[in-house]
Structure 1
Amino acid sequence: MVIQEQIRIQTRGRNTYNITGEVSEAIGRAGIETGICQLFIQHTSASLILCENADPSVRTDLERIMSRLVPDGDPIFDHTLEGPDDMPAHVRSILTHMDLSLPISQGRPALGTWQGIYLWEHRTHPHQRNVTLTL
């Protein structure tokens, strides 16, 4: 049996958003004890990551390095239709992940002790993001 569900996340702009709870709740509703949870974000300017969930400075440091690698307003970019963060957001999402596959064990994501599932918003303005879960 395959179950598919969509979760919506309202972002407040560039940041990481812990969606572990929403994913765990979807798995619980599906009643799947053992299996695979595949997540896919339906956007080209946000991504999904597994990240340390205990120390928020890890995610701050990730943002710092990404800002150094792909700065907003870099004159190398022609695609600036939606502003100086437009093309950098696309590059950031390609460098990270638009999908994740996670094992399900005992009815929940089989994550490591310090792992959390995050939506990483790469745009500076708020957006509503859709993540499809296939279980």
Structure 2
Amino acid sequence: MEQIFSKLKFITHGQGFIDITYDLNLYIEKNNLHSGILNLTSLHTSCSLTINENADPNVLEDLKKYMQSIVPYDSYITLSKDREEIFYKHYQEGADDMPAHIKTSLTNTSLSLSFREGKIMLGTWQAVYLWEHRFDQKERIINLHIIGEKK
């Protein structure tokens, strides 16, 4: 068994999903790994990691719209009987600042994935996504920790 610690950088283009499956499999291949576990951790508080469908792009669009509906910008309405409007206090980086932190808290910042024969073990319609919650382009860094066997 061998351990590898590394990082991958991605450039996002505003809110949405980036399929990083190919990049992860390429990293495994370039390091001549056969089987093991790949742990991914985002080093950011305003983006997420998720596994979801890769066949129908409407799935990702629906996820994005749903998340926007439950985490609005600027303020939110409480679920109490008074239905009070609460304005975010944390907005130093813009209207998407606090909502991005909330979305990250509701989703995942780390994933643990098995790989065998040099490929991540995913279902037929699955892909690994970096989910950007901010409006603007960002450079995102994902930590990799691999425990595995070489080919």
TM tier relative to shorter chain: over 0.9
Paired position in structure 2 for 1:100: 111
- The separation in 2 between residues aligned to 1:87 and 1:55, in whole angstroms, is 30
CA contact (8 A) 1:5 1:26 kept: no
Q: Which among 122, 125, 135 is matched to residue 136 of structure 2? A: 125
2:58 counterpart letter in structure 1: S
Amino acid at match of 2:33: I
The amino acid of 2:143's aligned partner reads T
**1:79: which partner in 2?**
90
Listed as ranges, the matches of 1:1-135 within 5 Å are 1-74=2-75, 75-135=86-146
The normalised TM-score by structure 1 is 0.97
Unaligned runs of 5+ in 2: 76-85, 147-151
Q: Which amino acid is 2:118 matched to?
A: G
By how many angstroms is 1:65 displaced? 0.7
Alpha-carbon shift at residue 76 of structure 1 (Å) = 3.1
Unpaired runs of 5+ residues, structure 1, are: none
Identity of aligned residues (%): 39
- What code does the residue aligned with 2:69 have? R
Q: Match for 1:129: what amino acid?
A: R
Distance in 1, Cα, partners of 2:142 & 2:21 = 12
Letter in 2 for 1:64: K
Which structure dedicates a bigger proportion of its chain to strand? 2
- Residue range with higher mean Cα deviation, 22-31 or 40-49: 22-31
> CA separation in 2, counterparts of 1:9 and 1:108?
20
For 1:22 and 1:5, how far apart are their aligned partners in 2?
13
Secondary structure of the 2:34 match is coil
For 1:93, the aligned partner's letter is T
Between Structure 1 and Structure 2, how many residues are aligned?
135
Q: Quote how far apart the aligned CAs of 1:80 are.
A: 0.6
Structure-2 separation of matches of 1:98 and 1:79: 20
